[in-house]
Chain A
Amino acid sequence: MTEHHQENVAVAANSLFKNYGSVEALKDVSLSINDNEFFTLLGPSGCGKTTLLRIIAGFEAITAGTLFLHGKNIADLPANKRPVNTVFQNYSLFPHMSVADNVGFGLEMQGKDKNQIKQRTHEMLELVQLGEYADRKPGQLSGGQQQRVALARALAPQPEVLLLDEPLSALDLKLRKAMRLELKQIQENAGITFIFVTHDQEEALTMSDRIAVMSQGELQQLGTATQIYQEPRNRFVADFIGESNLIPTTVLSSDIHTMRCKLTDSISIAIPGKESVSEGDQGELCIRPERIRLSNADESANLEGVVDGIVYLGTDTQLLFKLDDQQTLSVRTQNADNDGPVVEVGQRVGLHIDESSCRFLPES
């Protein structure tokens, strides 16, 4: 193998392709996942994230490409020979076995002796706080408890990498939020690489060290939560992660530091420069709604709009503006500092856009 293995890389995928008949589920996906990393595959359903996870687990064969686990080529290794374990979306606990037998199953298959199995099973059940449920059947537990058993079962054999396939999606919102913190904590304590699949951006942003955003079988962007939120590489990422105003634009002038982009027919804004962008390029402006302020009082307003709609969201209020060229602009104001301008539908208001946070997304 020409592949040069780096010390701290757990999983290295190179140009992975996966076809189901004529459907391309993965198209040229390359990424490397580090040891002890909480790595998230994020994307809408059908984006290929679960396929990638199942390929790493060994449930699906790859059509082309290479796959390495700690420097070892595992592409042709069957699932039961790979030192990775999975937490399944619907837990897939063995219904005819007790909780303890479920957790001990992997250890038993590894040929561990009875005492070791008993001890490790006990440890794992304590870790997920289900010590007293060892003799129950999975069917007698709640969804959240089953989820913990699935986690304990997958962690028990001390896998090199733990794969989690939307493990929180079947839980209710409150439990889901509590489990996020707990999962993150367990990952840090266990010192195991977690590869986490989700379609929930909030889940991804709160837990992950790094996130791979996927769409239509392709890797769209790979980076930390801050990176993918603040520096979206393309329209898909800007639209999928958080909210954004995506406004068609033309580059009026460009150098390394700043570029001037058309906002409306009469107004342009100066945003941070980008390499490989030149004057006349077409694309979209990405403006986050929370980066726009109402500024009737001061002189900093860089454009004006008419209030078209007001949506109260609890902590925030979303305001919809119509600009002079009928373009809609969404603005979010925090209700904590509500001593600012209170507006009414139909009112004309000055707006200030934080130009340094705006990004130009070239046409793909």
Chain B
Amino acid sequence: MSGLVEKSSFGGLRKPLLLPAWLTIGFFLVIPVLTMLVYSFLTKEFRGGVLWEFSLAAYDQFFFDRGLFGDEPPKIEWTYINIFWRSIVQAAVATLICLVIGFPTAYFIATRSPQTRNIWLFLITVPYWVNLLIRTVSMKFLIRDTGPLNHWLMQAGIIDSPIHMINTNFAVQLGLFYSYLPFMVLPIYASVERYNFSLSEASADLYAGRWTTLRRIVLPSVKPGIIAGCILVFVPSLGAFLAPDLLGGAKTFMIGTLIEEQFKGAAGNWPFGAAASMLLLSLVMVVLLFYASSQSKQALHH
């Protein structure tokens, strides 16, 4: 039906009008990803870059340990799998924290009067006018041992000696949370704003308490916004390298940092970085496919 409308209203102009979209997707998505894919199957050149020889070495290095000289029988290499696993856990925790704090925030904003809503949304987005790098460095300054946070806590008499926060998981989580909170708040806000609040009244009218109404009526109604928010936080958190790099230490090494290092300086390994990127991309695709299938199942029910 909608296809018919589009065809008839744009006629022969339809293809030229779609051209910018196709060009954008081609230049910024298809070509870079294909380049990475090709690089991941090439041979490493020692001062960075690649040699045009087909090789599975990058993937082999990721999954298998063949000893220092590569002549021992292959064992599973856990280092990188662990880094991946740790990244997934970090990203999941960051997503959960963003959700727990972002949902009430979004709900609060959506239930304000229409005039004040814009002010609240504006306040949420103000920090994002500052570059991510600068924000992350500021966070480092804020939470370091001699930083203002520890200073205030000690002055207030809550703690005696500074809490060591920098280079911990906590610091990385704080950085991720601060970086991606709006990506959780905005989609949830959009769906709560569309939510018909008379459904909550109907629920209360039918003897449901506030928590039951939230769980049984509100959450299912705003689920698309919650899922979108979770994906928007989880995916970039998974590949984030600024927060883990600046706020974390060796123990919080994540995929993003691993990949970044492969392309930085002479010590890098481009095919290996490309392979790790492709594996990360596959992981993200799995998450998105899972989401898409859950959406289409819902669509079938409606």
Inter-subunit contact A79/B204 (CB<8 Å): yes
Contact A86–B221 (Cβ < 8 Å): no
Does A157 reach chain B (CB closer than 8 Å)?
yes
Q: A78-B204, A79-B204, A96-B220 are in contact. Are A88 and B209 (CB under 8 A)?
A: no
Are B207 and A86 neighbours in the complex by a CB distance under 8 Å?
no
Q: With a CB–CB cut-off of 8 A, which chain B residues contact A94?
A: 199, 202-203, 217
**A290 CA to B206 CA, complexed, in Å:** 46
A84 and B205 CA atoms in complex are apart in Å by 7
Q: A90-B198, A92-B198, A92-B199 are in contact. Are A79 and B301 (CB under 8 A)?
A: no
B180-223 vs A, Cβ < 8 Å mask (1 yes, 0 no):
00000000000000001011011111111100100001001100
What residue in chain A is nearest B217 (Cβ atoms)?
A: A94
Q: How far is the CA of A78 from the CA of B203 in the complex (A)?
A: 12
User: A92, A106, A153 — which one has the most chain B CB atoms within 10 A of its CB?
Assistant: A92
Closest-CB distance, A5 to chain B (whole angstroms): 24
A110 at the interface (CB under 8 A from B): yes
In the assembled complex, how far is the CB of residue A19 from the closest CB belonging to chain B, in whole angstroms?
18
Number of A-B contacts (CB under 8 A): 60
In the complex, whether A121 has a CB less than 8 A from a CB of chain B is no
Whether the Cβ atoms of B208 and A139 lie closer than 8 Å is no
Considering only residues 77-95 of chain A, those with a C-beta below 8 Å from chain B are: 78-81, 84-86, 88, 90, 92-95
With A94-B217, A96-B220 as known contacts, state yes or no: A110 contacts B201, CB within 8 Å.
no
Say yes or no: B220 contacts A79, CB within 8 Å: no
The answer to whether B202 and A88 touch across the interface, beta carbons within 8 angstroms, is yes
Q: Which of A59, A106, A157 sits near B201, CB closer than 8 Å? A: A59
Interface size on A, residues (CB 8 A): 26
User: Roughly how many angstroms separate A16 CA and B302 CA in the complex, as a whole number?
Assistant: 44
Can you list, as one digit per residue, whether each of B36-58 has a CB less than 8 Å from chain A (1) or not (0)? Answer: 00000000000000000000000
In the docked arrangement, what's the CA distance between A137 and B209, Å? 24
| Contact present for A109 and B212 (CB under 8 Å) | yes
The answer to whether B201 touches A92 (Cβ under 8 A) is yes
* Residue interface bits B130-165, CB-to-A below 8 A is 1, else 0: 000000000000000000000000000000000000
Report the bound CA distance from A59 to B209 in whole Å: 13
Return the chain A residue nearest B202 by Cβ: A92
Could you list some 19 contacts between A and B, CB below 8 A?
A57-B201, A58-B205, A59-B204, A59-B205, A79-B201, A80-B205, A80-B206, A80-B208, A84-B205, A85-B206, A86-B202, A88-B198, A94-B203, A95-B199, A95-B221, A96-B220, A105-B208, A106-B206, A109-B207
Q: Which residues of A does B touch, CB under 8 Å? A: 57-59, 78-81, 84-86, 88, 90, 92-96, 105-106, 109-110, 137, 139, 153-154, 157
**18 other A-B residue contacts (CB within 8 Å) besides A86-B202, A86-B205, A153-B206:** A57-B201, A57-B205, A58-B204, A78-B204, A79-B201, A80-B204, A80-B205, A80-B206, A86-B201, A88-B198, A92-B196, A92-B198, A92-B201, A94-B202, A94-B203, A109-B206, A109-B207, A157-B206
Chain B residues within CB distance 8 Å of chain A = 196, 198-199, 201-209, 212, 217, 220-221, 301-302
